[in-house]
Amino acid sequence: MSSVQSPVVARSLVKRFGDFTAVDGIDIEIAPGEAFGFLGPNGAGKTSTMRMIGCISPVTEGELSIFGLDPAADGREIRSRMGVVPQLDQLDNELTVMENLIIYARYFDLSRKQAAAKADELLEFAQLLEKVDAKVDSLSGGQKRRVSIARSLVNDPELLLLDEPTTGLDPQARHVLWDRLYQLKERGATQVITTHFMDEAEQLCDRLVVMDGGRIVAEGSPRGLINEHVRREVLEVRFGRDRNEEMLPQLAGVGGRIEALPDRLLVYTDDGEAALTELHRREVVPESSLVRRSSLEDVFLKLTGRTLVE
Amino acid sequence: MSTPGAVRVYLRDWAWFRQVVTAVGLASIVQPLMFLLGVGLGIGELVDSGGNTDLLDGEPYFAFYSSALLATTAMFVLGGEALWPTLDGFQWSKANYSMIATPLTPTDVMLGKALHFLVRGLVAVSGTGLVLLMFDDTRTWGVIPGVLAGVLCGMAFAMPLAALTATRDEDNLFPAIMRFGITPMFLFGGAFYPIAQLPTWLQPIAWITPLWHGIELARGSVLGGLEPLMALVHIGVLSAFVLGGLLWANRTFARRLLL
């Protein structure tokens, strides 16, 4: 890769818990300033990988290097240059937003004065200035998430780890958060993001790996993965739960590959409308139909035979 | 200048404790006062009017009992503190996990907790000490080393219990610890009567409990008459509990936090 040092390099990285292999020999190299995603269902090994990168989980086998340093020997130094947004907010609910930020900044050994100045700056960035003295308990889910993100930035991290950053948030709160993360990216911070949301991965990630059962099953840019693995559009048709399977033969040749889900059939094609017209010409009339662009969800379905969010 | 990791951890506990420290301080005075007025004066009158306090080394019952409160208070307060509030950092608020995502280590987290126990214990036992100073029988300089003895006794409970807490996912064991560990010690550890009054087979059990050593040390400090050798033994036993607890907690905290 480039001569600039990769913030994260993993070679044949393995994490085992007893007999269970959570991460099964993955290779990653993340470029500076890149927004890199781990996409996969629950239990795919995303969080275990993140914890190893975060230097709070010993590597079982393989190599891992963060900023060119060894997590086992230099964990303290690595963590001082990294920001972490955990999957569930770990805020001090009974303390104010300001206190939360100052206490966290103190963990990084900022002086009280530095911490207070930094907190002011971050609260503005997180659009929480009017909540400075509010107890965290009183905030909405989206606001708490923004406090978590603000908190993770107290040390001006070169690398930001975001574990499921918008899980549990309503659509509006998600968009506010995405906007903030996009701004951070523009400032040049490398981001590592885990998610099981397709749209989030497409919005936030320059490049991503799809994980399943502890392994990487595909790697590329969101668009690149879609182009590589599925055709441009999807025609979704529903014939009712019992009839989807039996209608399969009648759909042959309408488009490309067909994926049969319990509740609908997905026809992959370069032109969804044309496929639908062809269906109508054959006098095959589904209960409902929908033409949409292919997404990472379709890539995942093709690669693993399963949907991401059950 | 760099602030030690344990202090940075402790600052979080302090941010919370600061909000309630006045109320806790007042309660630390009111509660022993009630005990002393109820048990100390009431039973004391009963015991002393019997006319024979030989078993108490000639001390009035009030002084005998009240000086032990320095140690029992510490045991109850720090024992409790090492259970639920300590589990919180692992299980409910998960604050300990936030800490180790920063340059702090599990050892820093553990030592920060120890610091919190120390401050919490000092507030509680000092309250009891202030109450002792209100009464003629116990108004001596010995209350100061007595308070320190109480805090040491409390730490002898807190550190091993905190180590145990770090291995738990739930608080279901905690009521049993209070009921079958802490409360029996309170009853049989020599707070209410000298353990020489216990059946002979029960006495050695008292000797191995940290509470008995804490009570003897605190009582000896307040009332005088503590033999230097015995003082060293008591301090030694209590310190061993604290040190053993620190080492054990260092392992269990790391094991819990670094998956």
Q: For B182-222, how does the pLDDT look when each residue is reduced to its tens digit (9 = 90+)?
A: 888 888 888 888 888 888 888 888 888 999 999 999 999 99
Name residue, tokens 């891992």: A64
B259 shares contact with chain A (CB less than 8 Å): yes
CB contact under 8 A, B2 and A57: no
pLDDT at site A2: 44
- Whether residue A263 contacts residue A244, with contact meaning beta carbons closer than 8 Å, is answered with yes
Please count the CA atoms within 13 angstroms of the CA of B121 that sit on its side-chain side: 31
Residue B56: both structure tokens together: 């108490």
For B:28-47, CB contacts with A below 8 A are: none
Low-confidence spans in chain A with pLDDT less than 50: 1-2, 310
For B:12-31, CB contacts with A below 8 A are: 12, 15-16, 19
What is the rounded CA–CA span in Å between residue B8 and residue B6? 5
pLDDT at site A308: 59
| DSSP per-residue codes, A163-224 | ESTTTT--HHHHHHHHHHHHHHHHTT-EEEEEES-HHHHHHH-SEEEEEETTEEEEEE-HHH
CB contact under 8 A, B101 and A80: no
Sort out which chain A residues have CB atoms less than 8 A from B101's CB and list them. Answer: 54, 56, 79, 82, 84, 86
- If you average pLDDT over residues B231-238, what whole number do you get? 96
- Whether residue B118 contacts residue B126, with contact meaning beta carbons closer than 8 Å, is answered with no
CB contact under 8 A, B257 and A92: no
Query: Is this structure's pTM higher than 0.80?
Result: yes
- Whether residue A191 contacts residue A160, with contact meaning beta carbons closer than 8 Å, is answered with yes
CA-based nearest distance B250→chain A, Å: 16
> CB-based burial of residue A274 (10 Å sphere; 0-12 exposed, 13-18 middle, 19+ buried)?
middle
- Whether residue A36 contacts residue A206, with contact meaning beta carbons closer than 8 Å, is answered with yes
CB contact under 8 A, B103 and A94: no
Closest chain B residue to A53, measured at CA: B101
Longest dimension (CA), chain A: 74
Residue A195: both structure tokens together: 């998610």
CB contact under 8 A, B11 and A104: no
- Whether residue A92 contacts residue B93, with contact meaning beta carbons closer than 8 Å, is answered with yes
For B:92-131, CB contacts with A below 8 A are: 93-95, 97-105
CA-based nearest distance A66→chain B, Å: 14
pLDDT at site B49: 78
- Whether residue A74 contacts residue A154, with contact meaning beta carbons closer than 8 Å, is answered with no
What is the rounded CA–CA span in Å between residue A236 and residue A290? 5
